Each structure stands twice: as C-alpha cells, then as structure tokens.
A = this chain, B = another copy of it.
Amino acid sequence: MGIHYYFRSLNELERIIRCPGKFKFEEHSVAAHSWKVVQYAKTLADIEERNGVTINWKKLYEITSSHDYGEIFIGDIKTPVKHSSPELRKLIQQVEEGMVYHFIEEHIPDEFKAIFHNQLREGKDDSVEGLILEVADKMDQVYEAFAELQRGNTEKEFVKMYRDALVKIKNIKLHCVDYFLNHILPDMVNDEIVSTVDIRRITDEALGIDRSQSA
C-alpha cells in the first residue's frame, strides 16, 4: 500500500495508444494527450480570466491532469462502443469508476484517500473548469485528426473525429470557445492550404535558375 503504486501506474498511460486499430501516420499515447490537454486548458482558462471569469486553478489542475486516468483499467475503449447504447455507456462508466475506487481503497494511505477520490472523479461537470476540460479534450481530437488528414490519411474515422469534435466545441458557451473558433481554428485550416510543396520550384530558386525565360 502506498502512493508509489499510483505513481508507478502512470507509466501505463505512456503505453496506451489512442484510437487503436486505425491506421495513423503518428501515434499518440494517453500520457502525451493528457499533457497537451493540461496545456490547452491553461490557456483557455487564461482567456476566461481575461474576460472576467473566476477560475479555481487547483480544481482545474486536478481534473485536467487526471482526466483519463481510468483508461489504465479500461483501455482506450472505442468511442462507438462506449456510445453504442446508453445502457452500455453507463455500465462502462460504472466499471471504470468502480475500478478507480478500488485502486484508491487498496493502494492509497488513509490520510490521502479523500484527496484521491476527489481528484480522480469524472471532471466534466457544468462548472467552468469542467467545461474547459471538455473543450481542451475535444481540441486535442481536432489537432490529432487534422494532422492525419493533412498528411493524406484516408481513414474515414479521422474525418468523423475532426467533425464531431468541432461540433461538440461549438456548442459550449465559453469565451475561450469563441476565441478558438475565431482565431485558432482559422490559422489551423489556413496552414493546410499553403502546405503544398513544389520541389522543382524550390530547387530552381536555390540554384538561381530562372525557367520563365526559356519558354
């Protein structure tokens, strides 16, 4: 028994790969995903603060950094499965929560049990921190799917992931969502437009060759 067992278990999320089964040009671990969500959420919360919203930073820290911890027990069960029926979704959530509960009861010393039960609860509630977590989590799906599509991945799952995440974000009422839709997303999409590479032209420029005269 001891916090060591919690710390050691974090390593497992470095080995669970998101979106298992689908072809992808670049793999992402749940650990790396979690870190990016932490980073997005920080900036999203900064935007809220600039708009006069009060942020509970301790709570935001807790729920974003631990938001996928339950995948240690449940793996990255595919979204379609989780959502195939309300009944199944609820039961899987119960199992995940049950396994986290038992892990805490078995491994965490008594004086820290309350803290861990609180931190490892489902964080996506209706508080501003819960909503920011939801936006940040979906933003990483947007970034992951976008990079695959941009590199020529033809798996339909990434089109769907990109579209569904955008729709989910769009419907959350936060100042940072407006900022994302008006400033961040346009830069991302524009990135793609300019990314085609004309190797011959670059070669000619580097060598100082002007072919326009030769025609």
Is A117 positioned at the interface, with any CB of B under 8 Å from its CB?
no
CA distance A145 to B112 in the complex (A): 27
A14 interface contact, C-beta 8 A: yes
In the complex the two chains form, is B91's CB within 8 Å of A191's CB? no
Residues B88 and A78 in contact, CB atoms below 8 Å apart: no
Cβ < 8 Å to B, chain A residues 141-163:
143, 146-147, 149-154, 159, 162-163
Q: Is B60 within 8 A of A206, CB to CB?
A: no
Contact B35 A75 (CB under 8 A): no
How far in angstroms is the closest Cβ of chain B from A71? 8
Q: Which of A10-34 contact B (CB under 8 A)?
A: 10-17, 20-23, 25-26, 28-29, 31-32, 34
CB–CB A206/B23 < 8 A: no
Complex Cα distance A204/B159, Å? 13
Given A10-B39, A88-B95: A20 in contact with B23 (beta carbons within 8 A) = no
* CB atoms of A202 and B162 under 8 A apart: yes
Closest Cβ of chain B: how far from A158's Cβ, in Å? 8
Other-chain residue from B40, B77, B154, B166 in contact with A197 (beta carbon distance below 8 A):
B154
A196 to B6, CA, bound (A): 22
Report Cα–Cα, A143/B9, bound state, in Å.
Answer: 11
A215 on the B face (CB < 8 A): no
Identify which of B12, B15, B20, B72 contacts A75 (C-beta below 8 A).
B20
Select from chain B the residue with minimum beta-carbon distance to A24.
Answer: B15
The reply to whether A149 and B58 form a contact with Cβ atoms under 8 Å apart is no
Contact indicator B38/A65 (Cβ below 8 Å): yes
Partner of A65 from the list B42, B95, B196 (CB cut-off 8 Å) is: B42
* Residue contacts A-B, CB under 8 angstroms, 10 given: A6-B43, A23-B147, A31-B32, A31-B35, A32-B35, A57-B61, A75-B75, A109-B183, A170-B206, A170-B208
